[in-house]
Structure 1
Amino acid sequence: MDFNFFHPIVLEDETVLLRPLEESDFENLLEISLNEPETWEYSLVRANGRENLEKYIQIALKARENRKEFPFIVFDKKSGEYAGSTRFYDINLEFKTLQLGYTWYGKAFRGTGLNKHCKYLLLEYAFETLGMERVEFRADNNNERSIAAMKSIGCKVEGILRNHMPTLGSDARRDSIILSILKKEWVDDVKENLKRKL
């Protein structure tokens, strides 16, 4: 499968719409960026404040241009508001693997089920349209909320990369937890289990 990084992929159900992130989405995400700095507590690339949000979007779009990542903006249909962003990255078509991450939502959208709808659509696309064999997830091992969310959609913990990366704004280094879903797991039970939770 040859992945077209410039095809306008739109994924949606009755709850959420994901479409390619664009430069003009700066305005759609600015309120969260300005008012919810805790959203990026564990992030290595932050979008808090005007300047950081602008950089965040530019970096994401450059990575898409370089055929390395595919960033989405997330629109919550129930509220009629933009909720945050997520993306495919480390896309390796030859090995049929990718990572799913850089996911963040404003606090009004956390715990609402929105994330499960997003992950269902993204995983379905990764496994059933792109033909991926493995989707990987990573997080700061201290980020309990993110880890719980990944486990709840069916991710299996593979292990911890100790002292893996530097953290922003300090000399400390983080341990990164690695989780994944395999195509066989998606087909066998993860898809149906996740669908029941929607």
Structure 2
Amino acid sequence: MIDTPVLDGVRVRLEPMTEDHLVALEGVAYDDRIWRYMIVWVKSRDDLRAWLESALREKTAGTSLPWVTVLKSGKRVIGSSRLFNLDLRHRTVELGHTWLAPQYHGAGLNAEAKLLQLRYAFDELGLNRVGLKTHHDNLQSQAAMRKIGAVEEGTLRNHLVMPDGSARHSVYFSIIREEWPWVRSLLEERVAQGSV
């Protein structure tokens, strides 16, 4: 099992998720806009606890590295993200389960968090591929993935069942090792400018 490291940026810090973060996450997690396109909806403390415990079980299994996103000014927990489906043999991972409290959308913080996670995946873990996927109706997320340089690979139709029973088609993107230097430069420039 890989220990989830602290990833320290300019405006955000990604801290390894623990049960101790439950209270801080409660302060920002109960907005339906966060969960609309997720395959788990969090509406109560029990939902949030189950979501957190699931992330920690995957961490213990060695397939996930979950973080909470902390705004360094004020030291406030504002969201979460993780690397998951980690496969060291094939040197691949997915980046996702990402959310920020809506009041922090559009502030460039997600780009900075992605830079930290991608730098860790490619430069520290030596991975060859980082995949990303999103709900077919989540056009904002798809645009954000393109904006960071991810390449759209296609759509898995009727891939997942949403909590309301509807079918989710998952739109897949990836960044591969050969693209990483360009993506890193793009993200570093955006973080330096404080752009979305």
When the two structures are superposed, what TM-score results if normalisation uses the length of structure 2?
Answer: 0.94
State yes or no: 1:31 paired with 2:31. no
In structure 1, the residue corresponding to 2:78 is in which secondary structure? strand
Q: How many residues align?
A: 191
Which 4+ stretches in 1 moved above 6 angstroms?
Answer: none
Q: For the aligned residues, what is the CA RMSD?
A: 1.2
CA separation in 2, counterparts of 1:51 and 1:87? 21
Identify unmatched segments of 5+ residues in structure 2: 192-196
Asked if the contact 2:24/2:77 (under 8 Å) is kept, the reply is yes
Question: 1:105-162 CA deviation, whole Å, 9 max, x = no partner?
Answer: 1011111000000000100110001000000001101111111111111111000111
Matching residue of 1:15: 11
Q: Which residue in 1 is equivalent to 2:194?
A: none
Gaps of 5+ in 1: none
Cross-structure match for 1:182? 176
Write the mapping of 1:61-72 to structure 2, written as runs, cut at 5 A.
Answer: 61-72=56-67
Identity fraction in percent: 31
The reply to whether residue 163 of structure 1 matches residue 133 of structure 2 is no
Once the two structures are superposed, residues 71-124 of structure 1 have per-residue CA deviations (whole angstroms, 9 ceiling, x without a partner) of 001001135311100001010100010000000110111110000000001001
**Partner of 2:86 in structure 1?**
91
Q: Are 1:72 and 1:86, in contact at CA under 8 Å, matched by a contact in 2?
A: yes
Q: What is the CA distance between 1:8 and its match in structure 2?
A: 4.6
Alignment pair present for 1:191 and 2:176: no
Match of 1:124 among 119, 123, 136: 119
